[in-house]
Amino acid sequence: MTSQGLKRQVKWYVSAALVIGTLGATGLFGNLPVTYSMAGPAAALVWIVTLLFGAFAAVVLAYNFTIWPDKAGAEYAPVRIALGKIPGAIAGWGFYINWGTAGAIASLILGRYIFGTDPSTFLHRQLFAFALVTIFFVFNYFGIKIAGITQTILTILKVVPLILVGLVAIPFVNLSNFHPFWVSGVPGVQANTMEGMLMLFLSAALIATWSTYSTDIFASIVPEIEDPEKGIPRAAWFSVVVSLAFVSLITITAIGVLGSQMGTLSKPLFQYGQIVLGNAGEILLWIALVCGALTVPNVALMSASRVTYQMAVEGDMPKIFAKTNKYGVPYWGLILIYLINVIMIFYTAAYAVLVAIVQVPWIVCWFLLGVANLKIRATKEWHEKAIFKAPWWVVIGAFIVGLIGFGYCYAYGVLWGWHDIILGIVFVLLILVIMAVDSLVSRNKK
């Protein structure tokens, strides 16, 4: 089987919109205050640095997919080709568990903003999230053109208000709000020591990566991008540059305007918008939040169905997941991820477990991408095929970023507890066991 079931029918900017629309979609509103409570004003540095780290993945994936432009599935494809079936499966499922669950997570978070957190509104939030996921399931079923146009429009409606409010906020910035730069909100951590600052950075970075490490998502739909030789590098660079612009602007100006209130207010970014532009500022940020959050279930369904498609093409999943409908959509993978999101929305235990295990498989996925690119760059046959050639320092940088990710998990475990980290490790080990058993069964059959 080949990737011929997917059709080249969208421009490169649709691929870029997957990143720009979802990056910080709910994270800036929900996770920026959390990272501030961990690291103080240095939270702005955490977000900017982790986004720069995310740029390494975008660049190496652009490199990989100009070698193999007929592959889908972001990290899965290069890891599977360079390192083999078992590492490929870990990368594929790491990508899947992170992105596939994002639709339910973002929809429920948006529901909390709209309906509040009172227990009496819980069913309203669930029904609201279910409606969103169902709408985007329908959009995706009828082809990537519809889903792609929707994504592009929502992305523009998200980014323009953020940049507008951020630019207007610059004169309101109070530089004294950045002193002291490191402020520990974590018991027992001294923010005035090098070790303390490092631990605060690493633990806050794990939270920030939920948003800033979404730079990989553009590569999930590569076989559907027109003119991939030019389009793939454009999508990668455009994603990083635009995202870096609005993330830097919002994190710096919001902290500069609000100061310590960033970690204490219930909805700090809306108060920030109110300060700099009055009611218009708050309305603009509501538009950015709603449009950004709406992009997430769209991308979650789109990207997760493509990785299961590619895994089926490579023989790592049942062949049924490689089937596409007349619109070029791998519909069985789409149905599966839709059902997973619905279960998460209505079954609290499944939601809690899946959210808890996300980070470790995701970090392992990034590490494997770094290792795979060391081999890809060193293999002359592969490197010479690349239209966009990554230099050695970028490839080594991607590997180092993958290593640093384990530091995020360690610091988070030390400061906040090991429960989520242990669950994530168990998930990765479970994949290893399943793949090992599958390999043994295959060998015995042969």
CATH code of residue 152: 1.20.1740.10
Residue 296 is assigned to a structural domain of this protein: yes
Give phi and psi for 378, each to the nearest 5.
Answer: -85, -10
pLDDT digits (tens, 9 = 90+) for 106-132: 999 999 889 988 889 999 999 999 999
Using an 8 Å Cβ cutoff, are 354 and 97 in contact?
yes
Q: Is 42 inside a domain boundary? A: yes
Tokens 């004003």 belong to 41
Q: Spell out the SS3 assignment of 415-428.
A: HHCCHHHHHHHHHH
Q: Is residue 425 part of a domain?
A: no
Q: Which DSSP category does 235 fall into?
A: H
Per-residue model confidence as pLDDT tens digits over 231-250: 999 999 999 999 999 999 99
Count the Cβ atoms, other than its own, within 10 Å of residue 174: 11
CA distances from 100 to 257, 258, 322, 358 (A): 35, 34, 17, 10
| Interatomic CA distance for residues 358 and 213, integer angstroms | 13
Residues 6+ apart with CB under 8 A from 361: 90, 93, 94, 97, 98, 424, 427, 428, 431
| Mean pLDDT on 289-315 | 94
Assign 340 a pLDDT band (cuts: 50, 70, 90). Answer: very high
The confidence band for 24, taking pLDDT boundaries of 50, 70 and 90, is: confident
Q: What is the pLDDT of residues 369-405, one digit of tens each?
A: 999 999 999 999 999 999 999 899 999 999 999 999 8
DSSP notation for 324-378 = --TTS--HHHHHHHHHHHHHHHH-HHHHHHHHHHSHHHHHHHHHHHHHHHHHHHH
Average pLDDT over residues 13-33: 91
Cα radius of gyration rounded to whole Å, the chain? 21
Indicate whether 283 pLDDT > 50: yes
Query: Residues 6 or more apart from 443 whose CB is under 8 A from it?
Result: none
pLDDT over threshold 80, residue 330: yes
Instruction: State residue 441 phi and psi, 5-degree precision.
Output: -65, -40
Top pLDDT among 355 and 332 is at 332
Checking if the pLDDT of 47 tops 80, the result is yes
Using CA atoms, how far apart are residues 338 and 344, in angstroms rounded to an integer? Answer: 10
pLDDT tens, 142-168?
A: 999 999 999 999 999 999 999 999 999
Please state the pTM of the whole predicted model. Answer: 0.90
pLDDT of residue 446: 63
Does 431 reside within a domain?
no
Residue range(s) defining the domain that contains residue 115: 12-69+99-354
Give per-residue pLDDT as tens, 352-374: 888 888 888 999 999 999 999 99
Question: Does residue 379 sit within a domain?
Answer: no
pLDDT tens-digit map of 400-438: 999 998 988 888 888 778 888 898 899 889 888 888 777
| Residue 218 in domain | yes
**Per-chain mean pLDDT for the chain:** 90
Residue 1 has pLDDT above 50, yes or no: no
Q: What is the pLDDT of residues 196-220, one digit of tens each?
A: 888 888 888 888 888 888 999 999 9
Residue 439 lies in a domain: no
Q: What pLDDT score does 199 carry?
A: 84
446 within some domain: no
Q: Which residue has the tokens 């490197």?
A: 383
Question: pLDDT band at residue 264, thresholds of 50, 70 and 90?
Answer: confident
Phi, psi of 10 (to 5 degrees): -130, 155
**How much is the average pLDDT of 308-322?**
92
Q: What is the pLDDT of residue 2?
A: 38
From 169, 161, 168, select the one nearest 284 (Cα to Cα). Answer: 161
Q: What percent of the chain is predicted at pLDDT more than 90?
A: 67
In sequence order, which residues have a C-beta less than 8 Å from that of residue 120 and are 6 or more positions away? none
Question: What is the per-residue pLDDT for 325?
Answer: 92
C-alpha 342: how far from chain center = 20
Encoded tokens for 27:
């994270």
**How many domains does the chain divide into?**
1
